Amino acid sequence: MADYHGEYKVPGGKLVVADLAAEDGIITAASINGDFFLEPDEALADINGALVGLATHAPNSALSAAVADAVGPTAVMFGFDADAVAVAVRRALGHATTWADHEWELIGPTPLPITEQVALDEVLTREVGDGLRNPTLRLWDWEERSVVIGSFQSYRNEVDPDGVARHGVTVVRRISGGGAMFMEAGNCITYSLYLPASLVDGLSFADSYPFLDAWAMEALASVGVKAFYKPLNDIATEAGKIGGAAQKRLGNGGVLHHVTMSYDIDAAKMTEVLRIGREKISDKGIASAAKRVDPLKRQTGLSREGIIEAMMSSFAARYGATRVDLSAASLADARGLAARKFGTQTWTHRVP
């Protein structure tokens, strides 16, 4: 018989701990505990009992369903839920991992063509999924004026060709979903996380966003910005939206989590280049597209480089990340992929 221990801190919620015993691939004893609230008290025994007898390889859906059925619709689970219990159990059994289970690397910003930036997202995500590199945080930098559109966006619905031509904008399409990003040199702070799927095992896309960016919220707080998530993928402050996130989960087990935040965006130019529709504006409860973002420069008074350094330092301190250089092999792979895919009209206009 073997004993197992796993923990999961619910984003914005409480800590859930799973202490288990198992034998011959079956959970034989379970103790779910933590600083959550649960009514009635008897529901805790129901949760533990529901886990006993389940296979140690049971998927999140089976674990969550067993817990939900056991407590029934009248139990009050405050600060956690059946899905959180499933994540803690999977972590205990070694199917899901925590940040501390990995050796993280950190790549600082290096100016590269925008086609190579988006190509690197695919290259490095695949490397992590294939076990060829450690999970990594990478900061972007670029020099040309660009628009990066989401994987599923229509080119003609998002980009104004006259504005693109007038301002000399390079338009590229990334592999993650989400919305378009207007990126001039120095006007945004953009980073990508490359991680194994085990880190977000059992988490919905909605839950994984704040989970993966908790360190970034901490870093922003260190420079005086109290940021928070607005579902699904907007990052905002009381003063307004400052950015957004996007994700792509590859079949090889690699996950890309990508965030762009506005540092000193030219909102008037942005509206000339992007077709920001009335529906999107009204959904955000604002009257003007030019007021959709509130730059970090105004909120902090700090240089872009200063904020980036604060973010890298926060990530390194929190997760013990080692700063490394981008390898020549990865960069060569990205340049090849940019030429074959991300720099082509076929990919850029794949959704006309």
- Domain of 39, in residue numbers: 2-96
The domain that contains 88 carries what CATH number? 3.30.390.50
Return the pLDDT at 247: 96
Domain shared by 118 and 19, yes or no: no
CB atoms within 10 A of CB 309: 16
The tally of CA atoms less than 13 A away on the side-chain side of residue 261 is: 27
Q: Find the helix or strand (DSSP H, E) in which 23 lies.
A: strand 15-23
Q: Find the helix or strand (DSSP H, E) in which 28 lies.
A: strand 26-34
Question: Is 259 in a helix, a strand, or coil?
Answer: strand
Domain shared by 188 and 293, yes or no: yes
Region for residue 294 given its phi and psi (left: phi exceeds 0; alpha: psi -120 to 50; beta: otherwise)? beta
Q: Per DSSP, which regions of 238-337 are E strands?
A: 240-249, 254-262, 322-324
Question: Is 148 in a helix, a strand, or coil?
Answer: strand
pLDDT band at 285 (very low <50, low <70, confident <90, very high): very low
Domain shared by 104 and 90, yes or no: no
Q: Is pLDDT above 50 for 253? A: yes
Q: Is pLDDT above 60 for 282? A: no
Mean pLDDT, the chain, integer: 93
Least-confidence region, from 96-105, 230-239, 297-306: 230-239
Final residue of a structural domain among 63, 96, 129:
96
Return the pLDDT at 292: 59
Can you tell me the distance from the alpha carbon of 3 to that of 200, in angstroms, rounded to the nearest whole number?
23
Does 8 or 2 have the greater pLDDT score?
Answer: 8
Domain shared by 273 and 320, yes or no: yes
Q: Average pLDDT for residues 223-239, to the nearest whole number?
A: 91
Q: What are 52-81's pLDDT values in tens digits?
A: 999 999 999 999 999 999 999 999 999 999
Q: What are 121-147's pLDDT values in tens digits?
A: 999 999 999 999 999 999 999 999 999
Q: Per DSSP, which regions of 130-227 are E strands?
A: 136-139, 146-149, 170-173, 181-183, 188-196
Domain shared by 327 and 198, yes or no: yes
Domain shared by 82 and 166, yes or no: no
Q: What are 304-326's pLDDT values in tens digits?
A: 999 999 999 999 999 999 999 99
**Number of separate helices (H) and strands (E) present in the chain:** 14, 16
Backbone angles phi, psi at 152, to 5 degrees: -110, 10
Show the tokens assigned to 314. 């926060």
Domain shared by 281 and 148, yes or no: yes
Cross-strand bridge partners of residue 138: 107, 192
Domain shared by 176 and 302, yes or no: yes
Return the pLDDT at 291: 52
C-alpha distances out from residue 177 to 55, 141, 163, 244, Å: 35, 21, 23, 11
Domain shared by 81 and 134, yes or no: no
Final residue of a structural domain among 44, 79, 96:
96
Contacts 24+ apart (CB under 8 A), 290-293: 291/240, 291/267, 292/240, 292/241, 292/267, 293/240, 293/241, 293/242, 293/243, 293/262, 293/265, 293/267
Domain shared by 85 and 165, yes or no: no
Closest CA to 48 of 25, 77, 27, 62: 27
Q: Average pLDDT for residues 8-25, to the nearest whole number?
A: 95
Q: Is pLDDT above 70 for 151? A: yes
pTM: 0.90
Return the pLDDT at 58: 97
Can you tell me the distance from the alpha carbon of 218 to that of 314, in angstroms, rounded to the nearest whole number?
7
pLDDT band at 240 (very low <50, low <70, confident <90, very high): confident
Q: Average pLDDT for residues 320-334, to the nearest whole number?
A: 98
Can you tell me the distance from the alpha carbon of 59 to that of 56, in angstroms, rounded to the nearest whole number?
9
Quickly tell me which residue has 């540092």 as its tokens.
263
Q: Is pLDDT above 50 for 239? A: yes
pLDDT band at 281 (very low <50, low <70, confident <90, very high): very low
Q: What are 41-54's pLDDT values in tens digits?
A: 999 999 999 999 99
Domain shared by 89 and 179, yes or no: no
The domain that contains 288 carries what CATH number? 3.30.930.10
Return the pLDDT at 249: 96
Domain shared by 66 and 133, yes or no: no
Region for residue 144 given its phi and psi (left: phi exceeds 0; alpha: psi -120 to 50; beta: otherwise)? beta
Final residue of a structural domain among 70, 96, 122:
96
Q: Domain total for the chain?
A: 2
Return the pLDDT at 280: 53
pLDDT band at 200 (very low <50, low <70, confident <90, very high): very high
